[in-house]
Amino acid sequence: MMIQTIKTTPYGDQKPGTSGLRKRVTVYQQPHYVENYLQAIFDSLEGFDGQTLVIGGDGRFYNDVAIQTAIRMAAANGFGRVLVGQGGLLSTPAASHVIRHHKAYGGLVLSASHNPGGPDGDFGIKYNIGNGGPAPERITDAAYERTKVIDTYKTIDAPDVALDQIGTQHSGEMVVEVIDPVADYAALMETLFDFDAIRALFASGFRMTFDAMNAITGPYAHAILEDKLGAPKGTVKNGTPLPDFGQGHPDPNLVYCKDMFDLMMTPDGPDFGAASDGDGDRNLIIGKNRFVTPSDSLALLAANAHLAPGYKSGIAGIARSMPTSAAADRVADKLGIEMHETPTGWKFFGNLLDAGRVTICGEESAGTGSDHVREKDGLWAVLLWLNIVAVRKQGVDEIVREHWATFGRNYYTRHDYEEVDATIAGKLVDDLRAQLPSLPGKNFGEDLQVAYADDFKYLDPVDGSTSAKQGVRIGFTDGSRIVLRLSGTGTVGATLRLYLERYEAADGRHDLETQTALEPLIGLSEQLAGIKQRTGRKDPSVIT
Ligand code: G16
């Protein structure tokens, strides 16, 4: 095998964000851009000689090119074997499982998640470690440092691998196994959930609609929901992964799944609606007449997980990202289990899961998952919901209302201002940060008294590492919160995320419209941060 060492020059913009390196496809198409980043990752790792690397992506435009490049570079850098999903496909949670199941050294997940795809869309590369989870900051930081000085990369002169043919091939001397992207994952789901109960639910006439958004979950949802669980054919919509996601925006929220939401609010609509994103790690859950916020979903899944065989002996603890509502905290409190608040980014859950301190994790950004893999998992959340509905023999709306009547309701919304001028956005957050020391004790209106105001800093209780400047928090004595942070996944300008939360006790009013319930906090956040005034925007780009 002739290893080629190719000269290159650094790019200055290869700093990974919340979840890997996400850029426009046109940025990735620059000469050696993919190669530089991959070599920087490999240079930041040790001891992988002869080991297995998993490679897969969400099928978006440029996946095929990047995968062939990655295979040749893995061979040149000394990996002994690559496992790659047929057609280059692997959902993010399935990639996590394949890494764990086959005891791989690590994996490359090629995806920009929920961001649009196609030649004018986004592309991304993320490295996952041997526990199946996103690389921690010490590795992503090292890779970034390396990208600044990189001057060569290694590859081999070998033909493309036939990604459509399941079975063993070679790239140079390295073994390449093209695997069924669904099989291992579907088998894992069968060990966690009561498939008989869910089968009986569908057999009884329970109607579901699942939108795969022309993205990766199509093959998984067809195989599991329709083939294994007996949901009628046609339950899964948009089930073929397309390189441009059918020109859609594969983000399962109320903006991009509005049609489904409207359908679920009609008297004849299905009993259960769900969707997943570009790479299959996010989820949307809507019952008949009831949208479940991701924060509530985390709390509900944690409170009811024992109804599924995989969690029947209870859960060890719960973790949520800081901006996620505190609904899950009340569940942890009642169950007497550990509760952890981490920075945004699934990578921060890895240590807690590995240490067995938490079983279920979730984020306001439509992500929920458990210790079965080390990524959030869209279909897992859907299956746990179905398992709970099947065992409790209640609809989603009834289950949600009973939960609020037991734990109280955390009204919650997120307002996003996308593609804002990065300088204005940065200054706005800095200015709010500067006000923080003066806020505690201040009263706003009749009800709002500031209890604390800080910039979230996380101390990982497992490895002692710290992560500072993870978002501005202003907490009030009644449990309300305003949180502001800059997104780490956007590819153009800056995205400001404003998170608003208000707690209503178990015996309080749970039927208010969300934006109405949060009106005073929305007004106060404008008074303190001035987002509309300083960005010139009349409204948020997206409200979730
Ligand atoms: C990624 C991360 C999540 C994070 C989300 C939003 O999700 O894995 O942990 O919550 O981005 O991050 P930000 O607020 O910084 O944009 P995904 O689904 O895009 O991989």
pLDDT above 80 (res 511) = yes
Write the CATH number for 436: 3.30.310.50
**Of ligand 1's atoms, which has the minimum distance to the CA of residue 365?**
10
Per-residue model confidence (pLDDT) at position 17: 87
pLDDT tens digits for 398-424?
999 999 999 999 999 999 999 999 999
Per-residue model confidence (pLDDT) at position 346: 92
> Which among 390, 407, 424 is the end of a domain?
407
Pairing verdict, β 208-211 and 272-276: parallel
Write the CATH number for 378: 3.40.120.10
**Of ligand 1's atoms, which has the minimum distance to the CA of residue 112?**
19
**How far, in Å, is the centroid of ligand 1 from the Cα of 76?**
32
Nearest CA to ligand 1 atom 20: 113
Nearest CA to ligand 1 atom 17: 113
Dihedral pair phi/psi, residue 524, rounded to 5°: -65, -35
Q: Residue 218 is encoded by which pair of tokens?
A: 């199509």
Are 158 and 243 found together in one domain?
Answer: no
Ramachandran area for residue 464 (φ above 0: left; ψ -120 to 50: alpha; else beta): left
Are 249 and 355 found together in one domain?
Answer: yes
pLDDT above 80 (res 490) = no
C-alpha span between 153 and 38 (Å, rounded): 9
**Cβ atoms 473, 453 nearer than 8 A:** yes
**How far, in Å, is the centroid of ligand 1 from the Cα of 327?**
20
* Predicted TM-score of the model (pTM): 0.94
Are 95 and 113 found together in one domain?
Answer: yes
Are 418 and 517 found together in one domain?
Answer: yes
Q: How many CB atoms lie within 10 A of CB 192?
A: 18
Nearest CA to ligand 1 atom 7: 19
Per-residue model confidence (pLDDT) at position 491: 76
Are 309 and 383 found together in one domain?
Answer: yes
Q: Residue 356 is encoded by which pair of tokens?
A: 């067995």
**Of ligand 1's atoms, which has the minimum distance to the CA of residue 92?**
20
Nearest CA to ligand 1 atom 14: 487
**How far, in Å, is the centroid of ligand 1 from the Cα of 267?**
34
Give the mean pLDDT of the chain.
Answer: 96
184 SS3 class: helix
Per-residue model confidence (pLDDT) at position 339: 98
Which residue from 15, 18, 491 has its CB within 8 A of the most atoms of ligand 1, so it is best to mutate? 18
**How far, in Å, is the centroid of ligand 1 from the Cα of 365?**
7
**Of ligand 1's atoms, which has the minimum distance to the CA of residue 375?**
8
Are 422 and 388 found together in one domain?
Answer: no
C-alpha span between 3 and 157 (Å, rounded): 8
pLDDT tens digits for 138-169?
999 999 999 999 999 999 999 999 999 999 99
> Which among 407, 431, 465 is the end of a domain?
407
| Percent of all residues in the chain with a pLDDT value above 90, rounded to a whole number | 94
Domain count, the chain: 3
**How far, in Å, is the centroid of ligand 1 from the Cα of 19?**
6
C-alpha span between 229 and 196 (Å, rounded): 8
Per-residue model confidence (pLDDT) at position 14: 97
**Of ligand 1's atoms, which has the minimum distance to the CA of residue 348?**
9
In one letter, which amino acid is 52?
T
Which residue from 344, 416, 472, 497 has its CB within 8 A of the most atoms of ligand 1, so it is best to mutate? 344
Are 458 and 374 found together in one domain?
Answer: no
Average pLDDT over residues 489-493: 79
Are 340 and 388 found together in one domain?
Answer: yes
Are 208 and 322 found together in one domain?
Answer: yes
Closest CA to 217 of 92, 102, 101: 92
**How far, in Å, is the centroid of ligand 1 from the Cα of 95?**
17
Are 273 and 314 found together in one domain?
Answer: yes
**How far, in Å, is the centroid of ligand 1 from the Cα of 216?**
17
> Which among 180, 199, 216 is the end of a domain?
180
**Length of the chain measured in residues:** 544
Q: Where are the beta strands (DSSP E) in 172-247?
A: 174-179, 208-211, 236-237
Average pLDDT over residues 499-503: 96
Which residue from 19, 352, 368, 486 has its CB within 8 A of the most atoms of ligand 1, so it is best to mutate? 19
Are 376 and 454 found together in one domain?
Answer: no
Which residue from 375, 470, 487, 489 has its CB within 8 A of the most atoms of ligand 1, so it is best to mutate? 489
Per-residue model confidence (pLDDT) at position 493: 86
Are 230 and 336 found together in one domain?
Answer: yes
Q: Domain residues for 305?
A: 185-407
Per-residue model confidence (pLDDT) at position 262: 96
The residues carrying an active-site annotation are 113
C-alpha span between 276 and 297 (Å, rounded): 14
Closest CA to 344 of 195, 213, 489, 210: 489
Dihedral pair phi/psi, residue 87, rounded to 5°: 70, 10
Closest CA to 331 of 318, 313, 349, 344: 318
Per-residue model confidence (pLDDT) at position 399: 98
Within 6 A (CB) of ligand 1 lie 18-19, 113-114, 281-282, 321, 344-346, 363, 365, 367, 487-489, 497
In one letter, which amino acid is 251?
D
